[in-house]
Amino acid sequence: MNPLTTLVEARFDPHCHNKYATLMATGNGALGVRATHEEPYTTQTRGMFLAGLYHGAGEGETNELVNLPDLVGMDIELNGDIFSLLSGEILAYRRELHFESGALTREVLWRSPQGQRFAINSARFVSAARLGFLGLRLAITPLDGTATIRVATGIDATQTNSGRQHLAERELRVFENSYLQGRYRTLDNVSDVILGCACRVSPQAQVSFSAKNRRLLQHTQQTVGKGEPFTLEKCAWVCASLDGPDDNAVAPALTALRACVSAGFDALLAESLQARRNWWLHARVEVQGTCSQDQQALDFALYHLHAMTPRHDERSSIAAKGLTGEGYKGHVFWDTEVFLLPFQLHTAPQIARQLLRYRWLNLAGAKRKAARGGWQGALFPWESARSGDEETPAFAAINIRTGERQKVASAEAEHHLVADIAWAVAAYGQATGDEVFMAREGRALLEETARFWLSRAQAVNGRLELLNVIGPDEYTEHINNNAYTSYLAHDNVRLACELRRHLCVPDDDFTAQCEDFLARLYLPAPRADGVIPQDDTFFSKPDIDLTRYREHAGNQSVLLDYSRAEVNDMQILKQADVVMLLYMLPWRFDTGTLAANLDYYEPRTIHDSSLSKAIHGIVAARCGRCDDAYRFWRAGCEIDLGNAPHSSDDGIHAAATGAIWLGAVQGFAGISVKQGLLCVTPSLPPHWQRLAFPFCWQGSTLRFVITQDTVTVVCDRPVTLLINDVVVVAKGETAFVLSDPAVRKEAQ
Amino acid sequence: MNPLTTLVEARFDPHCHNKYATLMATGNGALGVRATHEEPYTTQTRGMFLAGLYHGAGEGETNELVNLPDLVGMDIELNGDIFSLLSGEILAYRRELHFESGALTREVLWRSPQGQRFAINSARFVSAARLGFLGLRLAITPLDGTATIRVATGIDATQTNSGRQHLAERELRVFENSYLQGRYRTLDNVSDVILGCACRVSPQAQVSFSAKNRRLLQHTQQTVGKGEPFTLEKCAWVCASLDGPDDNAVAPALTALRACVSAGFDALLAESLQARRNWWLHARVEVQGTCSQDQQALDFALYHLHAMTPRHDERSSIAAKGLTGEGYKGHVFWDTEVFLLPFQLHTAPQIARQLLRYRWLNLAGAKRKAARGGWQGALFPWESARSGDEETPAFAAINIRTGERQKVASAEAEHHLVADIAWAVAAYGQATGDEVFMAREGRALLEETARFWLSRAQAVNGRLELLNVIGPDEYTEHINNNAYTSYLAHDNVRLACELRRHLCVPDDDFTAQCEDFLARLYLPAPRADGVIPQDDTFFSKPDIDLTRYREHAGNQSVLLDYSRAEVNDMQILKQADVVMLLYMLPWRFDTGTLAANLDYYEPRTIHDSSLSKAIHGIVAARCGRCDDAYRFWRAGCEIDLGNAPHSSDDGIHAAATGAIWLGAVQGFAGISVKQGLLCVTPSLPPHWQRLAFPFCWQGSTLRFVITQDTVTVVCDRPVTLLINDVVVVAKGETAFVLSDPAVRKEAQ
């Protein structure tokens, strides 16, 4: 394996505080910590989140991922000067997130306002081996003479979600002159959180403790000589009881912290590194090419895919911003099943299973939501948290000019999510052959989602139609027969029937209804030119020149010039819709259709959603447009890694990181599944010499190594594949030469 | 009148952010705004408070004065550099609070990190004429070339009380592209707060608005040439419905704001200045002497006495920190009646009346509290807010080392407050002759407080004793027959009887009980040496050397070496107790007794309370110890104005500002009341040439001008006085020469 890359922040820039606080966030799927600096800045938003810990801050407030009391902050005084990189002079600065170890390091050389130089280095990691552990190390060396160093740090519960407080302080303790512990309870009395920490200081210093105004702090003061390092290692332990307060959790939390403190920062870092190395072995996508940013983007994406996924808890799923920020209130969208689950499915299928069980466990809420709408089966919430109930606020934020509140349409009509979940269930069944899951959770999910569509469809002139829906393109609301939704719904019902047949479930009324649905559901057919109508009226709407909006993709700048209603009445797409459909059901459409729809829709798409460009890239790759594919893929990588200083302030674009993997594996490696067979149709960017990655498939872990000329498959048992549409069997390590007529790609 | 002084902050020092944010706070008794800088700093605590707006942030949380959404903050960018005085270079800096106008100004010359110089000046005031108005002006002039200036400001509801959020955001609006309005409701649905603001920008600029994460902001951007000033005037209006939500308050709030905006910043400042000038005319204490800090301390004190007193609302009283900080949660203590009410009584008696009506309106709560303790009459809460119920938390903050919570003793046993209120009622009656008030509110207050003492006293060996009380000295808890409490209780009952006789209330059981109480209550008598025992056991306790604790008075450092129980068992006073008694009832004790008790108790007093030194000063003045008196008075002035960087972080020491006035008027001018007569026994510090002040007395406004040799009294009708214990009558303007045998002070 090539060495893992890193992400470097080479310059201290307050404009980018929150961008890097997001990009360099550390986490392990249970606990996420924003990469804010130890010393405070008004321009940075601190954040620490536990997967699954949601709370609504009061009447009318949405449940949101609770921003926990802060453990990272340190008030540092050097010879009486408050340490801040805004003051004094920065002589050297480098922050680096090490994707391999998950450690975030900062090295600073600072001249204080009084003129003394200090080397101030820090390191931080969230353990991949012990899910509640956060370790921080601060080392300060005075370079010009003796210095008195003061550090105050502990547990700061003044932290809020932008002013919304979720936690009541229940108990603050200092045990054995070392261990700080704060116990907090959500204001609804449902969840407890316990935070503990202890600081080891060298050389040994006098310490005192204070508890005031929701801050429990250890105050450390020490005088050290020139060149003598002062170090402070802070071990912290965070845990929660999410389903009811637990007054007995205090002692075990202290025991866990004590164990960490005895192990020590270095040993815990080594333990965590080992766990992460094992993880990378089974996940990493390696690329060799002339652009080093490509490997970095893949490492970045996978690093965050690891950090955001709650593999420890099937009652939690992946939030739209992972555990890196307050954006989207930590809610779970279709992003999880469509953009994030495939990576898990093909690197750690048990996690994909768990993410689907999250939906299965929440079937009751989905049935309630369907029933409220007058439908049957399961209508999953557009946004969900822990309970599985709809978390989308009924009304959008008030229009500050008119005072009106618009109903949020997505929760009302963006129903394709139901079929997306079914799609993911079927993909899971196909990729794993997990009969046990499919017989219980899979069947329930496929049947209940199918049942929803049966009831959702309306008979219109002898055919069934899906009226008043919203497809992925949210600039076109409340339309009839949205192609994406209809095709996916059709597939959903088909998959349910197939599974029932596979499970030998006897035919019944449901079967008959499904067959009727499959026969009569109206699926918008391609026009003569191959273009599929996005919905019944789309083609009848006027076009406008979108150039300036496309130049500022992601900013929704079109809404500054036009109202939502006006945008709705033009051929303007926020994001891929028909193109998304082509991506989702590759077996259904030939490359001609792909090309025709790309050509028609892409110029009409602003890409204001971060979900858009990457999907275009994959579809472009599938029709052999390598340059386009790469351009789109890079644009997808830039969503977080690009230069825009504020685009990631609220958290990582989780789906976009998933799409970086999708683009490499499904786009450039060209992996897809057709008729149950794994297909490989590579389309490497010209400057990529080699693309290698592990891939779990039906109980085996394959390894693909793809070059411009060859596809090498390593497997522990024979696997039948389609390479460039030719059936081959791989055994052990098999290299297929693409120029070999046996696997030559047919001319498009 | 000599020109009013100012308070200057000559240097930008982050260590002192909160000290000056308190000292330079602006307010009008209804609205108080901490003097935080426009640009944000992590080291400053913003604060804006409305008198009477209390709320408890959740189960187990105390009601506290709500820290409102912020109006002061401005994010300023100059050519892309975020403006912060921590970065770049400060070429000039001066902040000044103008006591006369109540305006706070700041003048800064700043070199940005990019090297461009800017003059950045701002001004701010809370109107003394329109109680909801806060005006801010920012002027930025680029000195080295064209500059693009961005300012974002509005209403920032991320503000909390140290992390506790009280307000739900109900509605955010922008009217007519100018007026921002936020409507907030306390989480208990009891109170509404409406904040509005509008910014006038010159030269006219493009503006936009945003509402996100509880921040409603106007974003202004303008490019101005070298030497061309950019100004932004922000008019803000704050109002509340404190006794129930009011959905109809939005329109009137907007109308009020609109009126302010049409009047404009300058006109409103002039209007407010006029109102303040009128106020100073009837309140100012002028001193001529060689130490200019003395006049400044008096101006400072009176400025804050004005800013803290809710003269608009008899349902509110004065918080221990006024409206300048979150300290003591904005609660009302005995400080109000004993330390703050005398100033009002003798400069604006109608306000003293109102402060007493606050207690009268809250009699029901006081009766409930007495009944809960098994007593009769009124036991006023040790800490009160708006409801009049006890707001002292039942338990103190948890002991972070033991996990134990101690009961808060003050609310249980510090009952002298009852008699303090009665003392203030009687003083009011005496000073104003307000028969109407005394017949209703006065009688009710004196009778119900007396009734409490009747039931509180216990017969012990034939006499009545007050057992298990806490006097003002809180280092000696749960003692029997505390001299302060017993003498004051005795006086309380006496005053009730006197008033009833005055009002010709027929004698009844109550009268008989009072007479019995007055006859049988044990009042600790002075020993042979004149020293009054603080309580039954005080003299039996050991002494220790208090030198080091007295050197750090105010820090409670003795509690670092001894437990509370240990302190309780030694002759250690936190604050004046017997000395306080001598101060309260001057007619009861001769100067010999004063001297003996000062000499005994003062060395045993650490002065850890801000209420202590000033009272010692007055008692010292009364026994002719001019130097001691001045030393104590200056120490009282230093409580807020001294150099300690953090002693005022949580807010002004309201009682200490009252004591600055008390020291001048009751100490140095030697004004007291004995047998209903106004006494003047001056004892000016040697370096004071002249002390002049207005003084309301029985419907007249007298004016005293006191020099080392003379007392001049100006009055609009004849007033009988005791000058140096000699009865005189003043008419028009009368100068009494102190060397004249008719008014010569007797030798002590």
Identify the CATH number of the domain in which residue A220 sits.
2.70.98.40
Of the partner residues B58, B172, B214, the one whose CB lies closest to the CB of residue A168: B58
Q: What are phi and psi of A108, to 5 degrees?
A: -130, 140
SS3 state of residue B522: coil
Of the partner residues B57, B58, B157, the one whose CB lies closest to the CB of residue A163: B157
pLDDT digits (tens, 9 = 90+) for B14-42: 999 999 999 999 999 999 999 999 999 99
Mean pLDDT of A182-202: 96
Q: Answer whether residue A312 is part of any domain.
A: no
Last-in-domain residue among B502, B524, B546: B524
SS3 state of residue A504: coil
Per-residue CA distances from B699 to A288, A351, B357 (Å): 95, 84, 19
Q: Do A163 and B164 touch (CB under 8 A)?
A: no
Whether B746 has a pLDDT exceeding 60, the answer reads no
Last-in-domain residue among B498, B524, B550: B524
Residues 6+ apart with CB under 8 A from A6: A96, A97, A98, A99
- CATH for A704: 2.60.420.10
Q: Answer whether residue B309 is part of any domain.
A: no
A244 touches chain B (CB under 8 A): no
Per-residue CA distances from B408 to A342, B373, B384, B478 (Å): 59, 15, 15, 12
Q: Answer whether residue B620 is part of any domain.
A: yes
Is A474 in the active site? yes
Q: Do A60 and B401 touch (CB under 8 A)?
A: no
Provide the chain B residues 82-111 that lie in CB contact (below 8 A) with chain A: 82, 84, 86-87
pLDDT recorded at residue B741:
72
pLDDT digits (tens, 9 = 90+) for B82-96: 999 999 999 999 999
B206 touches chain A (CB under 8 A): no
pLDDT recorded at residue B747:
35
A181 plus A135 within the same structural domain: yes
pLDDT recorded at residue B710:
96
Mean pLDDT of A304-332: 97
Structure tokens at A200: 């080891």
- Ramachandran class of B675: left when φ > 0, alpha when ψ lies in -120 to 50, beta otherwise: left
Of the partner residues B171, B189, B214, the one whose CB lies closest to the CB of residue A163: B214
pLDDT recorded at residue A301:
98
pLDDT recorded at residue A118:
98
Q: Do B400 and A172 touch (CB under 8 A)?
A: yes
pLDDT digits (tens, 9 = 90+) for A61-82: 899 999 999 999 999 999 999 9
A335 annotated as a binding-site residue: yes
A93 plus A203 within the same structural domain: yes
B539 plus B445 within the same structural domain: no
Mean pLDDT of B671-693: 95
Q: Do A400 and B164 touch (CB under 8 A)?
A: no
Q: Do B172 and A86 touch (CB under 8 A)?
A: no
Using a CB-CB cut-off of 8 Å, the residues of chain A touching B111 are none
Instruction: Report which of A499, A511, A505 is spatially closest to residue A425, judged by C-alpha positions.
Output: A499
pLDDT digits (tens, 9 = 90+) for A352-366: 999 999 999 999 999
Mean pLDDT of B305-314: 97
Last-in-domain residue among B472, B497, B524: B524
Whether B626 has a pLDDT exceeding 80, the answer reads yes
Distance CA A219, CA A75 (A): 9
Please identify which of the residues B9, B38, B337, B474 carries the catalytic annotation: B474
A574 annotated as a binding-site residue: yes
Q: Do B168 and A59 touch (CB under 8 A)?
A: yes
Q: Which domain holds residue A628?
A: 527-658
pLDDT digits (tens, 9 = 90+) for B359-374: 999 999 999 999 999 9
CA nearest to B187 within chain A: A58
CA nearest to B42 within chain A: A42
B480 plus B398 within the same structural domain: yes
Give, rounded to a whole angstrom, the gap between the first and last alpha carbons of chain A: 35
Distance CA A334, CA A347 (A): 20
Give, rounded to a whole angstrom, the gap between the first and last alpha carbons of chain B: 35
Whether A748 has a pLDDT exceeding 50, the answer reads no
Band (B744; pLDDT cuts 50, 70, 90) = low
B598 plus B712 within the same structural domain: no
Element spanning A671, H or E: strand A671-674
pLDDT digits (tens, 9 = 90+) for A517-538: 999 999 999 999 999 999 999 9
B134 plus B271 within the same structural domain: yes
CA atoms within 13 A on the CB side of B568: 11
Q: Do A173 and B403 touch (CB under 8 A)?
A: yes
Per the document, the length of chain A is 748
Band (A743; pLDDT cuts 50, 70, 90) = low
Whether A304 has a pLDDT exceeding 90, the answer reads yes
Q: Do A172 and B86 touch (CB under 8 A)?
A: no
Q: Do B216 and A400 touch (CB under 8 A)?
A: yes
Instruction: Report which of A397, A564, A423, A402 is spatially closest to residue A493, judged by C-alpha positions.
Output: A423
Using a CB-CB cut-off of 8 Å, the residues of chain B touching A40 are 42
Distance CA B59, CA B512 (A): 46
CA nearest to B172 within chain A: A400
A194 plus A154 within the same structural domain: yes
Q: Answer whether residue A286 is part of any domain.
A: no
A601 plus A701 within the same structural domain: no
SS3 state of residue B162: coil
Distance CA B484, CA B415 (A): 11
Band (A402; pLDDT cuts 50, 70, 90) = confident
Q: Is B660 exposed, middle or buried (0-12, 13-18, 19+ CB in 10 A)?
A: buried
Q: What are phi and psi of A322, to 5 degrees?
A: 60, -140
Q: Which amino acid is at B340?
A: L
Mutate to test the interface with A, among B165, B195, B398 (most CBs of A within 10 A): B165
Please identify which of the residues A414, A474, A477, A602 carries the catalytic annotation: A474
Question: Please, what is the angle between helix B265-281 and helix B250-263, to 10°?
Answer: 90
Element spanning A714, H or E: strand A710-714
Band (A746; pLDDT cuts 50, 70, 90) = very low
Q: Answer whether residue A326 is part of any domain.
A: no
A528 touches chain B (CB under 8 A): no
Considering chain A, what percentage of its residues have pLDDT values greater than 90? 91
Using a CB-CB cut-off of 8 Å, the residues of chain B touching A403 are 171, 173
The dihedral formed by the CA atoms of A424, A428, A431 and A434, expressed in degrees to the nearest 10: -160
The total number of structural domains that make up chain A: 4
Mean pLDDT of B53-62: 91
A373 plus A514 within the same structural domain: yes
Structure tokens at A615: 């999907």
Q: Answer whether residue B297 is part of any domain.
A: no
pLDDT recorded at residue A744:
55
Judge contact between B703 and B662, C-beta under 8 A: no
Mean pLDDT of A177-182: 96
Band (B554; pLDDT cuts 50, 70, 90) = confident
B41 touches chain A (CB under 8 A): yes
Of the partner residues B187, B400, B403, the one whose CB lies closest to the CB of residue A58: B187
A112 plus A229 within the same structural domain: yes
Q: Which amino acid is at A454?
A: L
A135 plus A30 within the same structural domain: yes
Q: What is the DSSP letter of A538?
A: G
Mean pLDDT of B347-354: 98
pLDDT digits (tens, 9 = 90+) for B373-388: 999 999 999 999 999 8
Distance CA A448, CA A75 (A): 54
Using a CB-CB cut-off of 8 Å, the residues of chain B touching A14 are 82
pLDDT recorded at residue B748:
34
A551 plus A485 within the same structural domain: no
Using a CB-CB cut-off of 8 Å, the residues of chain A touching B89 are none
Considering chain A, what percentage of its residues have pLDDT values greater than 70? 99
B79 touches chain A (CB under 8 A): no
Using a CB-CB cut-off of 8 Å, the residues of chain A touching B61 are 168
Q: Answer whether residue B200 is part of any domain.
A: yes
Band (B593; pLDDT cuts 50, 70, 90) = very high
Judge contact between A36 and A24, C-beta under 8 A: no
Using a CB-CB cut-off of 8 Å, the residues of chain A touching B211 are 397-398, 400
B254 touches chain A (CB under 8 A): no
What are the helix and strand counts (H, E) for chain B? 22, 28
Of the partner residues B57, B84, B173, the one whose CB lies closest to the CB of residue A86: B84
CA atoms within 13 A on the CB side of B720: 6
A731 annotated as a binding-site residue: no
pLDDT digits (tens, 9 = 90+) for A90-137: 999 999 999 999 999 999 999 999 999 999 999 999 999 999 999 999
Structure tokens at A246: 């637990």
Q: Do A40 and B42 touch (CB under 8 A)?
A: yes
pLDDT digits (tens, 9 = 90+) for B432-459: 999 999 999 999 999 999 999 999 999 9
Of the partner residues A42, A209, A326, the one whose CB lies closest to the CB of residue B41: A42
A59 touches chain B (CB under 8 A): yes
B403 touches chain A (CB under 8 A): yes
Judge contact between B194 and B170, C-beta under 8 A: no
Give the distance from residue A409's alpha carbon to the nearest chain B alpha carbon, in angstroms: 20
Using a CB-CB cut-off of 8 Å, the residues of chain A touching B157 are 163
Of the partner residues B14, B15, B58, the one whose CB lies closest to the CB of residue A187: B58
Mean pLDDT of A210-223: 96
- CATH for A495: 1.50.10.10
Mean pLDDT of A19-31: 98
Mean pLDDT of B547-560: 90
- Per the prediction, chain B carries an average pLDDT of 95
B158 touches chain A (CB under 8 A): yes
Q: Answer whether residue B663 is part of any domain.
A: no
pLDDT recorded at residue A243:
87
Task: Give the bridge partners for A233, in sequence order.
Answer: A137, A200
The yes/no answer to whether this complex scores an ipTM above 0.85 is: yes
pLDDT recorded at residue A675:
86
